[in-house]
């Protein structure tokens, strides 16, 4: 009798853990509920490419702000607020390019900080650094 109770208890606990494990495996947590991906890249001629994809179709996807940052030693500081590319409407993906070469000085290291906005949800991205 005692062994039967112990066996049933172990079996019950095992089944509960298996069921919970299966349910938990199906739960996907997103760091951002709107954006699937976002990025900004900067090439050596000073052209930035802004890209974003959303999980659903949005009324508007845009770049709220674009900031040119300059490297001094190992730290970054804001050098200049840049004009942003046009918004996209009624879509789930965004890709625009903008040239910022005229905003840069030869011999310095730069990157772009971009804040994307999709229907009020924002995400911040940084490009890789380039030597101009």
User: Per-residue pLDDT tens for 9-47?
Assistant: 665 555 555 554 444 434 444 567 899 999 999 999 999
Domain spans in the chain, listed from the N-terminal domain onward: 35-131
Helix (H) or strand (E) holding 86: none
- In angstroms, the CA 3 to CA 7 distance is 6
Pick the CATH number of 35-131 from 1.10.10.10, 2.60.40.10, 3.40.50.2300, 3.40.50.300: 2.60.40.10
* pLDDT for 33: 84
Place of tokens 């049933």: 8
Report, as ranges of residue numbers, the positions in the chain whose pLDDT lies below 50.
20-29
* pLDDT for 27: 45
pTM assigned to the model: 0.75
């Amino acid at each position: 009798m005692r062994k039967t109770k112990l066996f049933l208890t172990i079996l019950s606990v095992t089944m509960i853990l298996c069921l919970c494990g299966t349910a938990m495996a199906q739960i996907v947590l997103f760091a951002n509920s709107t954006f699937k991906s976002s990025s900004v890249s900067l090439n050596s001629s000073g052209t930035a490419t802004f890209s974003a994809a959303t999980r659903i179709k949005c009324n508007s996807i845009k770049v709220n702000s674009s900031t040119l940052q300059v490297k001094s030693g190992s730290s970054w500081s804001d050098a200049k607020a840049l004009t942003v590319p046009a918004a996209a409407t009624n879509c789930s993906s965004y890709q625009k390019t903008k040239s910022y070469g005229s905003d840069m000085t030869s011999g310095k290291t730069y990157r772009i900080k971009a804040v994307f906005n999709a229907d009020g949800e924002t995400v911040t991205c940084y490009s890789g650094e380039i030597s101009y």
